[in-house]
Amino acid sequence: MSISSIRSLEYLESLPGTVFNRLYKQPSTALAIFRRMLPHLAKSLVMAMLYITLPLPVTDLETWVRPGSRRDQDTAVDLLERLQILKRTVEPGQPRSYVLTNPFASSLRQALTGGGNDKSFGVPSDVQPRASVTPAQLDDFARRQWEGVLGYMVGSTGIGLRNEGVNLSPSVKHLLQYGGLVDVRGRNVDITQDGFAFVLQEVNAQVWTILVLYLENAEQLGMDRVDVLSFLFMLGSLELSQAYSKANLTETQLQMLLDLRDFGIIYQDNPDSDTYYPTRLATTLTSDAGALRSASASFDTALSSSTNDKGYVVIETNYRIYAYTSSPLQIAILSLFARLSTRYPNMVSGKMTRESVRRAIGMGITGDQIIDFLYTHAHAQMRKNANVLPPTVVDQIRLWQIEGERMKSTVGFLFKDFLSAAEYEGPCQYAGDIGVLVWKNDAKRMFFVTRHEQVAAYLKSQKEKRRDGG
């Protein structure tokens, strides 16, 4: 599952059941969650049960999965239950059974087969635009707006960023501060550790991070979060360069259009226009396709318009650094941890020093993040070496970091007091499989995780299985 899927999934899991009931009344939402949030096995289970009206005994469900994949089955069923897609039924004298919930099942059937007139997938505009808007124009607009957001985050480094007329609204700046991506002190804007991790993500993950922050802030803005979520999932089903009418949108969704335009997710000729165009940032919300036409796994290639080669950084053993780029954004990111001294039309050069790296660490950027950035964007010539980055540089960056650090704290939850090794090993291995395990001690039957909800649900399901004799 991609980073963006995990981010949006975590938010959905925190919603109450009444919200899911309203959300799933929209076929576009049911289809988007099916496509985007579910692993392959969960999708297979949903499709197999979609036209089954009676509860399915758990013994029948287990016959669909190979014996060696029973853990994957438990994970898929647990996820479907948390998303209110699947519910268990227990009747006296009958084995434990599962059934798909409504309205999810009915909405997904409608989305797959067509029919209905709920306008869940947007209403194409009947008004002929004065001038057609091409996909290239939409990509250019989305790229310019998104680069403006990233430029604001790293623009406090002293590098003159040319945002090409992009002016971020106060609400966008507040959202970045609310999410802990920037630290605003007076007129100074400093990128944080979370902010630097944010700019290293691929574009689709960045968009979902911003949208989840928007959702968390929606109620403070007087918005209905169900309307917000429904609109976002609907955008993922729209067609690029097709004009859509605003006539069927709610007040909340009309207000969203103005904010989403600042992020380059929606394009409008002017705020009073009766139509809007989804950009590629919108139409890829519920898919794993690249968010922009030139997108690859990292943000800089998604924002570059002239090259498909993402490697542009050369670093020497004497800490000299050369970057073959003319992008103000890429240069600004480099200046977060390097002292740049010379700039040419297509290259900048400088040096990584103790002071420049310690300054970045003081802003919350970690040494590992700097190393990952240099490795990800290393020039093709450097990748021909046995060690892509000089070991002396990697070691020195880590030494500069630990000068001011002797301990690393991690917020999480400790599970202990297991009665037997068998009772301990199952949830511990499950925590490792889902990527939340930080530390374990097999001798003392203790383990530490960053999130407890899924592990607690797993423990509950295992307890019910033992009680039911399964």
Region 315-340 average pLDDT? 91
Residue 75: Cβ within 10 Å count: 19
Region 133-161 average pLDDT? 79
* Higher-pLDDT residue of 131, 322: 322
- The first and second tokens of residue 161, run together, are 């960023």
pLDDT for residue 304: 38
- Phi and psi at 244, nearest 5°, equal -120, 145
pLDDT at residue 159 greater than cutoff 60? no
pLDDT at residue 97 greater than cutoff 90? yes
Average pLDDT, the chain: 84
pLDDT tens per residue, range 340-375: 999 999 999 999 999 999 988 887 788 998 999 999
- Phi and psi at 304, nearest 5°, equal -90, 150
Give the model's confidence band at 462: pLDDT under 50 very low, under 70 low, under 90 confident, else very high: confident
pLDDT tens per residue, range 384-417: 998 999 999 999 999 998 887 666 678 899 999 9
Tell me how far apart the alpha carbons of residues 172 and 180 are, in angstroms, rounded to a whole number: 13
pLDDT at residue 422 greater than cutoff 70? yes
* Helix 421-433 × helix 70-82 angle, to 10°: 70
Query: Which residue from 339, 159, 163, 123 is spatially nearest to 244, judged by alpha carbons?
Result: 123
**3-state secondary structure (DSSP) of residue 254:** helix
Q: Which amino acid is at 153?
A: M
pLDDT for residue 132: 78
- The first and second tokens of residue 468, run together, are 């039911």
Q: 313-315 and 275-278 as β-strands: parallel, antiparallel, unpaired?
A: unpaired
pLDDT at residue 314 greater than cutoff 90? yes
pLDDT at residue 308 greater than cutoff 50? no
pTM recorded for the entire structure: 0.70
pLDDT at residue 156 greater than cutoff 70? no
Tell me how far apart the alpha carbons of residues 435 and 455 are, in angstroms, rounded to a whole number: 11
pLDDT at residue 293 greater than cutoff 70? no
The torsion defined by the Cα of 347, 399, 381 and 301, in degrees rounded to 10, comes to -60
**3-state secondary structure (DSSP) of residue 134:** coil
Q: How many percent of the chain have pLDDT more than 70?
A: 88
Q: ∠ CA 305-195-189 to the nearest 5 degrees?
A: 95
pLDDT at residue 307 greater than cutoff 50? no
Cα torsion 389, 390, 394, 397: sign: negative
Region 433-450 average pLDDT? 92
Q: Which amino acid is at 350?
A: G
- The first and second tokens of residue 119, run together, are 């306008």
Region 79-87 average pLDDT? 93
Give the model's confidence band at 165: pLDDT under 50 very low, under 70 low, under 90 confident, else very high: low
pLDDT at residue 202 greater than cutoff 90? no
pLDDT for residue 410: 84
Q: Which amino acid is at 212?
A: V
pLDDT at residue 305 greater than cutoff 50? no
* Higher-pLDDT residue of 118, 20: 20
pLDDT for residue 64: 92
Region 66-76 average pLDDT? 89
Give the model's confidence band at 152: pLDDT under 50 very low, under 70 low, under 90 confident, else very high: confident
- The first and second tokens of residue 415, run together, are 């599970």
Weakest mean pLDDT among 162-166, 217-221, 336-340, 404-408 = 162-166
Region 4-29 average pLDDT? 83
